[in-house]
Amino acid sequence: VEKFHESIEEREVVEEVEAGNKASDVHGILVQLPLPEQISEEKVFEALDQVKDVDGLTPGNMGRTLRGEPGILPGAVKAVEKILEHELDEKGFEGLEATVINNSNLIGRPLSMVLSERGATVTLCNRKTEDLEKHTEKADAVVTATGQRGVLRPEMVREDSIVIDAGYSLGKGDIEDKEKMDRKTNFCGVPGGAGPLTVAVTMKNLLKCYRNQ
């Protein structure tokens, strides 16, 4: 693990990534997001060799996701997909109404592509979405991953819907009233749930990167 001061310059980060690309003893590179404001995520991932891209965030790997081709998916995206597979069981994804509260490249956007490719109808919400409840209460499945406590409340979702909290607010997730949410819905919360599965998928991605080199 390489740690840097938050004041590090963009050029230095790009140089470190490029050094990792060339190193024969480095088989995967994972860039911890979000980056400091002075660093462009786009430039960092453009510099990253897609063969060593553990999170699937290089332009090449994102393009594969967009086209519905096999490739590396961010760990959190694959984790949520696996949880939904388990909860949906034989019903499958076709016809599923899903609302995703996150529009980042790390979770929201690739997840919406994956779910859409599998036949779901996806509503992608962001911080500027007005009347969030209008989008969550109609959904068969709601995935929230904002890092903002209380963004989703039990009264905002349908009874017996699937609710997945993939938030990262100090290990507590996005949902405060977990007990009520658990009674009302098929709830997968924090801690547990998506977090450990994300770690497992990320390690599997690393192994895939290693085998592709």
Sketch out the chain's domains with CATH numbers. 10-70+202-211 (3.40.50.10860), 75-195 (3.40.50.720)
Q: What is the pTM of this model?
A: 0.90
Confidence at residue 71, expressed as pLDDT on a 0 to 100 scale: 86
CA 94 to CA 169: how far, in whole Å? 32
State residue 91's pLDDT score. 87
Nearest to 72 by CA among 42, 19, 114: 114
Tell me the residue type at 3.
K
What gap in Å lies between CA 100 and CA 73, rounded to an integer?
A: 17
Residue 170 has what pLDDT? 60
Count the neighbouring beta carbons within 10 Å of the beta carbon of residue 91.
10
- Residue 1: per-residue pLDDT: 83
Q: What is the pLDDT along the chain (213 residues), one digit of tens a residue?
A: 888 999 999 999 999 999 999 999 999 999 998 899 999 999 999 999 999 999 999 999 999 988 888 889 999 999 999 999 999 988 899 999 999 999 999 999 999 999 999 999 999 999 999 999 999 999 999 999 998 989 999 999 999 999 999 987 666 788 988 899 999 999 998 888 888 999 999 999 999 999 999
How far is residue 139's CA from residue 98's CA, in Å, rounded to a whole number?
A: 5
Q: What is the pLDDT of residue 169?
A: 64
